[in-house]
Amino acid sequence: MISVNPALLALLNQSFKARFARGLARAATSWRSIAMESESTSAVEVYPMIASLGPLREWVGNRVAEELSMAEMAMSNRHFEKTLRVNKNKIEDDQFGVYGNEAEMLGDQAERHPDQLTYKLLEAGFTTVGFDGQYFFDTDHPVEDGSLTGRNTRATALSVANYAQARADMMSLKDDGGETLDITPDLLVVPPALEETARNILFADPVFVAGVPQNNIWKGSAQLLVSKRLTSASHWYLFDTSKPIKALIVQFRKRPQLVSQQSLTDDSVFWRNEFVWGVDYRGNAGYALWQLAWGSSA
């Protein structure tokens, strides 16, 4: 029987932390394609939303100062955890090797968690209010001239014609001076059920419309992201990812780290005969600029 002592527990802790870091490094994520990363320094972060995405103007007379924001968005940090328990008897019996894999999985799951936050937020955008007081995906966002004409949604199935309409909706947005916002739709995001349709639109040549082959003018017009985290089989999304700002925000107050109760005098050992390792991190996800995203709730 192995003697469980502080030196052995220190080695075990070091091994678990290494495996946790390996899990963080190997996890494949996609949230950075549609969300910008923000470092948080307090319990709540307040983001000023840029009022104008429009171009520069010729300097005639005095400068025209634009407000930094038309609204502010406050995002509170949330606290997340996942915990691994290791029975002391398993260590004494030299059966703790499998827990290294579990520690690596903790890291993998921690790294993937922003994906979970981001895609849930995306799917909720048809019924959740953004910074301008409208649903994030809506037909009547307030625009610079005070009207309610900003549209970034339609209830249409993914097809060649509807993909073209979504692009037109985004690219037609203008600032209060009538200048284009220079929106460039460059990323199509779909669930697995729509992958074949999306690939036909973006990569096939010819493309079939009502069974008739046609030259695919949309070939290569955007990148494709297929997310298993999208739960609706019919919703699809289009993004402009070319700007310094993105449509969504993921903020981190505390990056995922592995913490432990692995002392022989810990309460978990006395009461449950267990050592405990767990993930500790704080953060959240929220909406930024609706102009950079378009969604269909078909």
User: pTM of the prediction?
Assistant: 0.86
Residue 98 binned pLDDT confidence (cut-offs 50, 70, 90)? confident
Question: Over the stretch 36-72, which tens digit does the pLDDT of each residue have?
Answer: 999 999 999 888 765 555 666 778 778 766 654 456 7
- The stretch 152-180 carries a mean pLDDT of 91
Read off the pLDDT band of 150 (50, 70, 90).
confident
In the chain, where the domains are located: 6-53+76-296
With cut-offs at 50, 70 and 90, classify the pLDDT of residue 147: low
Confidence of residue 95 (pLDDT cuts 50, 70, 90): low
From 66, 37, 27, select the one nearest 50 (Cα to Cα): 66
User: Of 49 and 202, which is predicted with more confidence?
Assistant: 202
Architecture of domain 6-53+76-296: Alpha-Beta Complex (3.90)
